[in-house]
Structure 1
């Protein structure tokens, strides 16, 4: 079309947003393949990880740790409960709270899925080499942990 401008591939591939988006898409595809044998997705694995942290959590506490809203958390727990990976029970100290815990099957699924995830991430980062991959992960951790900066 007349008047449209097209960025050359070199300019586009130098943009951080473009690179992060496409790296994330490739990682998501690799993650889905790695987790498929366990019948779970990345968000569901994250729930299992949070619930395995040591002490029983309410659905609301787990949602807060994951940064998801209550409705999303209910759907995630419903799916995992249907698969027999988690169970809900009323809190002994506050009957209004649902405590969510891993079942034995959930702990087994978590262990095996985490092994598959680690292997997938190692393969995904392999082109960087071990030292650069470690630096890359540390740099991302720094960016995620940093307070938001609106350019001020």
Structure 2
């Protein structure tokens, strides 16, 4: 697991994004928007498991850099919908899509039951890490 994380962290950001000082906190947000499409601040906050104010700050930062775009929700003008800026979509896809392609290749030969077991194992690992952290904070 540490090798996989280390290798993923070493994938350089695309040339057009390198000067933007993107940090790991930005990557998950960009990945959700890339793979799941535009969504609201609250939807992003729920997926990232952080407060909406945190997501709002990240979105503001990335919007100022031209990486993200915000628009009013057609059905509720009070909500803002966040999406990747077209100018950077291709570079972000090439960058973050590498990981998605690797997962597809690794999981393809597995049966549906084997994939489910693998995902369940990763989720159990994540829960156990959360439990360890909670114990350490007591």
TM-score normalised according to structure 1 size: 0.55
1:20-50 deviation digits (Å, cap 9, x = unpaired): 8xx49x94x6555434453322221211121
1:99-151 deviation digits (Å, cap 9, x = unpaired): 101121332232122156579x99xxxxxxxxxxx9xx7543332368x879x
**How many residues are aligned here?**
113
Unmatched runs of 5 consecutive residues or more in structure 1: 1-19, 123-133
* Structure 2 residue 48 is matched with structure 1 residue 66: yes
What residue is the counterpart of 2:91 in the other structure? 109
What residue is the counterpart of 2:11 in the other structure? 34
SS of aligned partner of 2:91: helix
**1:49 to 1:60, Cα distance in 2 relative to 1, 3 A:** same
Distance (Å, rounded) in 1 between the aligned partners of 2:23 and 2:98: 12
Unmatched runs of 5 consecutive residues or more in structure 2: 104-114
What residue is the counterpart of 1:15 in the other structure? none
How far off its partner does 1:90 sit? 1.1
How far off its partner does 1:77 sit? 0.8
**1:58 to 1:42, Cα distance in 2 relative to 1, 3 A:** same
After superposition, residues 1-150 of structure 1 pair within 5 angstroms as 23=2, 27=5, 31-37=8-14, 38-39=17-18, 40-115=22-97, 139-144=121-126
